């Protein structure tokens, strides 16, 4: 499910796979593997994508249908 969301988020932001791959500092073919589900997306890249699309990782991976990003925590651990 999140694979479709990943593509939808990219397209809704009017970005190409090349543009997103440059943001993630990876190759376009590597990014394509994430979008097609042929490779799992590392958590560090999911974090970047969530910030890029102003949503949560939970939304990208399909754990929630609410695209709203979680508020930043003010507490320091």
Residue reference for tokens 């102003």: 54
Q: What is the DSSP track for 40-52?
A: PPPHHHHHHHHHH
User: Treating both helix axes as pointing N-terminal to C-terminal, what angle do 43-52 and 17-24 enclose, rounded to 10 degrees?
Assistant: 120
Tens-digit pLDDT profile for residues 5-24: 899 999 999 999 999 999 99
Residue 55 lies in a domain: yes
pLDDT at 40 over 80: yes
Residue 24 lies in a domain: yes
pLDDT at 2 over 60: no
Residue 76 lies in a domain: no
Residue 33 lies in a domain: yes
Q: What is the pLDDT of residue 1?
A: 44
Residue 32 lies in a domain: yes
Residue reference for tokens 């490779």: 39
pLDDT at 77 over 60: no
Identify the domain containing residue 49 by its residue range. 2-61
Residue 70 lies in a domain: no
């Amino acid at each position: 499910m999140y694979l479709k969301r990943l593509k939808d988020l990219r397209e809704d932001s009017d970005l190409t796979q090349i543009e997103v791959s440059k943001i993630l500092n990876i190759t376009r073919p590597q990014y394509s593997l994430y979008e097609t589900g042929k490779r799992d997306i590392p958590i560090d890249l999911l974090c970047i994508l969530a910030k890029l699309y102003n949503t949560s990782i939970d939304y990208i991976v399909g754990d929630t249908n609410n695209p709203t990003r979680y508020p930043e925590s003010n507490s320091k651990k």
